[in-house]
């Protein structure tokens, strides 16, 4: 159904709990994870990274390995799938996705929010006619932007929703002519957001911000980029985007594009081979620069799969790419063979957390991969925590070492200290 389509495609004690059949039938998910000793808030990343993820703590301050338990959390009736999540504060999060179709109405976009760190959720009203939402980012607990598509034909126009009151009112904002879809967004401030969408057949950056500000086109990504999956900015001018490029009939390749001029020009970066799709990225500056006036180095972590087919990732393995130089050089990091597909990553709390799905099996289960050290540390990725339900996790945001929220398609779970 149109509203359910994708936007473009732990050690320690762990106990699993399966949701009642009614919840599984509703295909809904939310999860929260923690160490039992919350650290000071330092930021978080999502499939569209949160603004304060631009300053990551040094490795020496990283917490001990996480441990905890997966515990189901109920979501409101009618929520079918969640695609992305953002948490501007430890206890405040928003997630976007789609509703369950009924006998009289098809599925449509939905926004859900929590004010208690994921323990309970409620639906917020969004403008009618929006078919699905693929990404969301909140610069503050009041200012959020969500992106997706209007209509049920799959041809748009693209949708940008904004709120400046925490979601009490969501407003559909005008987008540039020719915009048929908007697939990712990140906001460095309430007045500065960068989105990626399809404009006149090209993946193009859109800039805007504020509940009433108009959105404008910046520059297009290289023509080999067929779709954009995620974007992360460390400031108003430096951004990195993951995407999918078509390299043959029915074959794709993962790409990373970067801009240093607020999206006016984009250049592809060289990534290791055997990457079929890249679907999530989180970037953060490290330190505060040097006495020579050079910019601070940038750490980025991108995740995806080796699968090159357009119709899914079941035949692939999870991929983690890291850089400590803003993408001058990308390295493939070891990751558990349990995962077939990683769809989102968050490194704002220090350790990186990636989510996705398990190896090629039917049905697949949600997967959580934790790393004790920075994502750029070779060999730092720990074994996965496999969720006890079919269908994958698709979004994650870690606001602190003791607070993460994960979303997906068929289960709800909360990882707490244990």
pLDDT at residue 391 greater than cutoff 80: no
Question: Does residue 365 lie in a domain region?
Answer: yes
Low-confidence winner among 26-30, 211-215, 276-280 (lowest mean pLDDT): 26-30
Name the residue among 133, 198, 126 with its Cα closest to residue 159. Answer: 133
| pLDDT one-digit tens code per residue, 276-294 | 899 999 999 886 554 445 6
Q: Is residue 348 part of a domain?
A: yes
User: In which band, very low, low, confident or very high, does the pLDDT at 295 lie, cut at 50, 70 and 90?
Assistant: low
Cβ 348 vs Cβ 393: under 8 Å: no
Domain count within the chain:
1
Report if residue 351 sits inside a domain. yes
State which residues form the domain around 165.
Answer: 39-285+299-308+319-416
Give 287: exposed, middle or buried? Use CB within 10 Å, 0-12, 13-18, 19+: exposed
**Of 286, 278, 355, the residue nearest 324 (C-alpha):** 286
Show the tokens assigned to 256: 């990373």
Domain membership flag for residue 5: no
CATH number, domain of 174, equals 2.120.10.30
61: left (phi > 0), else alpha (psi -120 to 50), else beta?
alpha
- Residue 251 forms part of a structural domain: yes
Q: What percent of the chain has pLDDT over 90?
A: 42
The neighbouring-strand residues paired with 204 are 197, 220
In a domain, 91, yes or no: yes
CA distance 416 to 66: 9
Whole-prediction pTM: 0.82
- Ranges assigned E (strand) in 58-201: 69-71, 79-86, 93-99, 109-114, 122-124, 130-138, 144-150, 158-163, 171-173, 179-189, 192-199
Give mean pLDDT, residues 265-285.
Answer: 93
Q: Read off the pLDDT of residues 335-373 as tens digits, 9 standing for 90 and up.
A: 777 778 899 999 887 778 888 888 656 666 777 777 755
Highest mean pLDDT among 57-61, 93-97, 306-310: 93-97
Instruction: Tell me if 359 is assigned to some domain.
Output: yes
């Amino acid at each position: 159904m149109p509203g359910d389509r994708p936007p473009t495609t732990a050690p320690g004690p762990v106990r699993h709990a399966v949701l009642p059949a009614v919840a599984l039938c509703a295909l809904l998910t939310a999860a929260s994870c923690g160490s039992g000793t919350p650290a000071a808030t330092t930021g978080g990343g999502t499939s569209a990274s949160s603004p304060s993820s631009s300053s990551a703590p040094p490795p020496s301050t990283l917490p001990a390995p996480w441990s905890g338990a997966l515990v189901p959390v109920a979501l409101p009736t009618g929520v079918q799938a969640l695609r992305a999540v953002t948490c501007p504060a430890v206890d405040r999060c928003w997630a976007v996705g789609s509703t369950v179709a009924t006998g009289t109405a098809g599925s449509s976009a939905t926004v859900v929010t929590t004010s208690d760190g994921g323990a309970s959720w409620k639906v917020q009203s969004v403008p009618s006619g929006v078919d699905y939402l693929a990404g969301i980012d909140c610069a503050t607990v009041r200012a959020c932007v969500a992106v997706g598509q209007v209509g049920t034909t799959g041809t748009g126009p693209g949708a940008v929703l904004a709120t400046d009151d925490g979601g009490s009112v969501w407003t559909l904002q005008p987008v540039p002519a020719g915009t048929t879809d908007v697939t990712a967004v990140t906001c460095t401030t309430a007045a500065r957001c960068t989105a990626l969408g399809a404009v006149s057949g090209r993946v193009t950056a859109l800039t805007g911000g504020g509940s009433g500000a108009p959105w404008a086109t910046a520059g297009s990504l290289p023509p080999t980029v067929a779709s954009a999956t995620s974007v992360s900015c460390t400031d108003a001018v430096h951004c990195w985007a993951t995407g999918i490029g078509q390299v043959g009939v029915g074959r794709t390749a993962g790409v990373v594009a970067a801009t240093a001029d607020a999206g006016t020009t984009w250049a592809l970066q060289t990534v290791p081979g055997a990457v079929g799709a890249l679907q999530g990225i989180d970037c953060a500056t490290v330190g505060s620069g040097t006495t020579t006036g050079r910019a601070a180095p940038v750490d980025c972590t991108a995740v995806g799969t080796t699968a090159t087919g357009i119709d899914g990732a079941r035949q692939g393995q999870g991929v983690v790419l890291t850089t400590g130089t803003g993408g001058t050089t990308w390295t493939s990091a070891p990751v558990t063979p349990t995962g077939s597909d990683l769809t989102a990553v968050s490194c704002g709390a220090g350790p990186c957390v990636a989510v996705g799905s398990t190896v090629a099996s039917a049905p697949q289960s949600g997967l959580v991969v934790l790393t004790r050290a920075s994502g750029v540390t070779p060999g730092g990725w720990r074994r996965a925590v496999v969720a006890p339900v079919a269908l994958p996790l698709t979004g994650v945001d870690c606001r602190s070492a003791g607070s993460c929220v994960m979303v997906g398609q068929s289960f709800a779970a909360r990882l707490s200290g244990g």
